[in-house]
Structure 1
Amino acid sequence: MDKSARVFESVLACFALISWLSASQATAANSPAGFPDTRLQSLLETDSTQQAPRPFTIKGWKTTTGIKTLFIHTTDLPMFDVHVSFAGGSAHDGDTPGLAAVTFSLFNEGVADMSDHAAIAEVFDGLGAKLGMDLDQERATFTLRSLSDPDKSSRALQLFTQMLGQPALTEEALLRVKRELRGLQLAEQQQPAEIASLRLLDLLAADTPYARSIYGTDAGLTSLTRQAVQTFHSQTHSASQTQITLVGDLSVEQAQAISLQIANALPAPLVALPTVEPLKAFGTEMHRHVERTQEQVHVLLGQPSLSRQHEDFVALYAATLIFGRGANSRLMTELRQKRGLVYDASIRNKDWAGSGLTSITLQTSPQFANETVALVKSMLSKFRREGPTQEELAYFKRRLANANIVGSASNAQILGRLAEINRHHLPLDLDFFAQQVQRLTLEQIRTAMDKHLPDDQWRVVTVGPTVPQVPLPQPAIVPTVEPSGHSCRADAGFVAS
């Protein structure tokens, strides 16, 4: 999931630990007689899955115009982050592919007293502020990071809210943005990963907005008018379509004032935003090949899965990560360590079409493409029937418990977590997901895989040259190493002094 339930891992502590141990080696050689002959180990005796609740309190409210707002107060740094999300993704393009992307791209292309992107960027840079923008099929997102000092933040917030509520949307900027998006369309058509992704979406949801590039089509861009952009802005960026998330060095009163400032700047909708219905049926074509001259074949397998709110989401998420995320996953062990077929392979869960999409991506030599796909399907089928082992689940729980802390250490990370809670209307607790993971059982995971990722629903896209196929190399014997759950472990030659 490009944004949901991400796994964070850090090795910085390991480097510091090993460096310290190296320096201590000579001292250890002169240990007193009778000194215990031990080696430093990770804290295996410690139950790292049991962690005390963190002192983050989520405050929530709605503005007078109905905007849902969530806020966490932190004081580590004299700054704050604002995240504003609108229901303005490309799925709302309707009959004009590219409408969402054009509107989105125009926000930082000028306001009433600033004519272009450079002028806006100069103001933010001068205030030490940082603007962020992101667009997907569901939503358009804008972020602002600013110093808490009112002399800096007041001007940054003024410009930020002006961009959101009153972008200039000029004809000149419209032409410029259309040219840029056409360039992005051309670049997308040259990237194997992007080609495969779009073909997969077309297999699943042909002739719907969910199968299109977020950049639209050349015909769609050509037909776009300034009036259409203005109407779309009013429909999708009104208060009724908005979520606000704040994290940082602000009081509750200051955070409420910021949310109200943003809400008051947004346009009143001229007409209601048309509803985009979730897909109820998916395409029946199961495989598509795109011929392309390149050294490797890009392979993408995918099928619809679950929304973040579904009761089985956490179990399915755990199942997919145990199967295919990380160097020691089943997928990488078989494809890389045993057979040398890939450099990397991974599984991903993301929001899509009102629910979710699970996909597996890898690259391999053209002569092994068909057999590699067959092997991955066979592995998935076996995993679906049997589920993970108790050791795999225990390792996953330890890894997620630690990553839960590491992955929410900074304001930006906390903001990402809180925005996900806001977007999916989850319980107001940063640790809720991690707690759900710790309660998972083997049977819940196996059942989720069996119910929601059937063997016969994997669509496959391959991008690359067509060559004669050969059998896969026989798997090598890889020594079995029990997962420790910890990435820091001293080499046998090092001992603590």
Structure 2
Amino acid sequence: MIERTPQQAAANGNYSGLVSARGVDLDQLEPLRTQVQTWTTKAGTGVKFVEARGLPIVDVVLRFKAGTTQDSLQPGLAALTLYMLDEGSRRYTGAQQAERMERLGAIMEKQIRLEHATLSLRSLSTKTILEPALEVFTDLVAQPAFPAPALEKIKRQLVQHNVSRERRPSLRARSEAFRHLFKGHPYDNPLGSTIQGVDAVSREHLRAFHQRAYSASNLEMVLVGDLALSEAQAIAQQISQALPQGWSAVDLPAVPAATPATINVEQPGASSAVLVALPMNVPANDPEFQALVLASEVLGSGLESRLMVELRQRRGLTYGIYSHASPLSSGGLFTIEWEVAPRYVQATQELVTAVLRDFIEHGPTQAELKLARKQLAGQLLRGIAQNNSLAALLTEITRQNQPEDHLNGYIERIERLSPADIRAIMQRRLDLNYKVLVSVGPRVVQQQLPATDQ
């Protein structure tokens, strides 16, 4: 249930195969053109498809609005439903599913997040391999049996996984920030489950949740690879027709008004995880969101970022410090995260806050902004260099409700943003009066920062 951060930047173009980022001069980067075909199946599934003939591989990604925020009355139901899908269907046992996938060389992955449950299939495009792989994949998604012995096993594993997550200082810090900022909202349980909720889930609950949340009309699908458009359309129709029909998730409520807080969680360890979080109620498809992504690149991405220079290069306090602009459908967070010796928790919190305040007040320099654009362009090129990463990127763009021209116009849009634009948007969208400071680690006497090396 650990969230992977998808590429937030993307650009589209026309490929017979996908391109490599190696040897590309980012100062001379021309707009990329990938032809993305979009349509909606008869069952109501939205589909995006990119034909990529360079390798005999097909990637299929299914993203259902079936995340943990859909089961707030029974925390654990969404996760258990997803994890039980490959434990057996009405046609195959879990062992048979696994054996068939392995024999075909196909790879299936699944992931649960706050707002979505995602399943992906990667297979060779040869019909004698792709067709049986799709058959097993479709069957396990559409016709799960939810066998009782497997349910008890998955329940134990889920509880153990959550206990393990809470022991990891960085994940605990993020969880505490969510619990405070989103108290009373479906976002306030980032683990997605509770022991009581997991214990209460029955096979009947799983079947009912699956019938709703895994409906074709609650699904966005992405296909990338060695397929003609007609073949992609047939695959999309095959999957969507096999699924339950006629249900779509409702929009989540607005997040509560933010309040500031300082949260210190005592936990043994050699270092402390520290986090600064600011509410950022800016949807990813808002024109101002990209300015906040650029700001995050300048502030805490790479060795030359402001925070890395201050904490690592000048003071040797941490191996890395990173900022993120994380959008959600009902709000979002701007976060800064680092690990530090426990005696420097308070001092580094003060230093990071001071750097952030100065950055919001004055904005980036032109040189910093130029470097940030290069970094985002590099992320883009890496994101489209392989079928599966492009599929993940298109899936994220769909989740964000980005406009049709998002990819093609991406580079041009970030080029238009000036330091003054970014400063104005930060001042409008980021308010330090609502910051939440979280630390997780041992309680020790606090010390002043060490002298800088310059």
Contact 1:404 1:431 in 2 (8 A): no
Corresponding residue of 2:266: 291
- Is residue 396 of structure 2 the alignment partner of residue 420 of structure 1? yes
Measured in 2, the distance between the counterparts of 1:191 and 1:420 equals 27
Q: Which of 93, 97, 105 is the matching residue for 2:83?
A: 105
User: Kindly tell me: are residues 228 and 107 of structure 1, through their superposed partners in 2, closer, same or farther at Cα, counting changes over 3 Å?
Assistant: same
- 1:433 Cα deviation from its structure 2 partner: 2.5
The offset of 1:290, in angstroms, is: 0.6
| TM-score, length basis structure 1 | 0.84
Q: Deviations over 1:32-77 (max 9, x none)?
A: xxxxxxxxxxx9xx7x344334342111111011211010001000
Aligned counterpart, 1:485: none
Structure 2 CA distance for partners of 1:406 and 1:218, relative to 1, 3 Å? closer
Provide the C-alpha distance between the structure 1 equivalents of 2:335 and 2:39, rounded to a whole number of angstroms: 36
- Report how far residue 448 of structure 1 moved: 1.4
Correspondence for 2:6? 3
The equivalent of 1:327 in structure 2 is 303
Quick check: 1:238–1:266 contact (8 Å CA) kept in 2?
yes
2:169 alignment partner, one of 185, 192, 198: 192
Deviation at 1:230, TM superposition (A): 1.0
Larger Rg: 1
Counterpart amino acid of 1:416? A
Residues 1:95 and 2:73 aligned together: yes
Note the residue ranges of structure 1 that are not aligned, 5 or more in a row: 15-42, 478-497
Give the Cα–Cα distance (whole angstroms) in 2 for the partners of residues 299 and 97 of structure 1: 27
Q: Which residue number in structure 2 is paired with residue 281 of structure 1?
A: 257
Q: Residue in 2 aligned with 1:343?
A: 319
1:72 aligns with 2:62: no
Q: Is the 8 A contact 1:67 1:263 kept in 2?
A: yes
Question: Residue 274 and residue 224 in structure 1: after superposition, are their counterparts in 2 closer, same or farther (change >3 A)?
Answer: farther
Aligned AA (1:94): S
Q: For 1:316 and 1:272, how far apart are their aligned partners in 2?
A: 31
Residue type at the aligned position of 1:288? I
Counterpart Cα distance in 2 of 1:166 and 1:214: 27
Q: For the residues of structure 2 that align with 1:445 and 1:404, how far apart are their CA atoms?
A: 21
Shift of 1:157: 0.6
CA–CA separation in structure 2 for the residues paired with 1:120 and 1:239: 22
Q: Give 1:476 deviation, angstroms.
A: 1.9
- C-alpha separation in 2, matches of 1:336 and 1:84: 40
Amino acid at match of 1:452: R
Of residues 351, 365, 371 in structure 2, which corresponds to 1:375? 351
State the alpha-carbon separation in 2 of the partners of residues 49 and 70 from structure 1: 30
Find the aligned partners of 2:33 and 2:27 in 1 and give their Cα distance. 18
Q: In 2, are the aligned partners of 1:85 and 1:243 still within 8 Å (CA)? A: yes
Q: SS of 1:3's equivalent?
A: coil
Q: Please give the TM-score of this superposition, normalised by the length of structure 2.
A: 0.92
Residue-by-residue CA offset, 1:178-237 (whole Å, 9 max, x unaligned):
111111122112111121111111111123321113340100011111111111111111
Q: Distance in 2 between matches of 1:241 and 1:457?
A: 35
Partner residue, 1:392: 368
Q: Tell me how far apart the structure 1 counterparts of residues 303 and 233 of structure 2 sit (CA, whole Å).
A: 44
Once superposed, what is the RMSD of the aligned Cα atoms? 2.1
Matched residues in 2 for 1:293 and 1:423: separation?
Answer: 38
Percent of paired sites with the same residue = 32
Q: Which residue of 2 aligns with 1:39?
A: none
Name whichever of 58-67 and 380-389 sits farther off.
58-67
Cα distance in 2, alignment partners of residues 450 and 171 from structure 1: 54
The 2-side partners of 1:297 and 1:281 are apart by: 29
Q: What residue in structure 1 maps to residue 438 of structure 2? A: 461
The alignment of Structure 1 onto Structure 2 pairs a total of residues equal to 440
Report the CA distance shift for 1:381/1:68 in structure 2 as closer, same or farther (over 3 A): same
Q: Return closer, same or farther for 1:386/1:455 CA change in 2, 3 Å cut-off.
A: same
| 1:433 maps to which of 410, 427, 440 | 410
- 1:3·1:350 contact (CA, 8 Å) conserved in 2? no
Structure-2 separation of matches of 1:218 and 1:246? 37
- Is 1:210–1:353's contact at 8 Å kept on the other side of the alignment? no
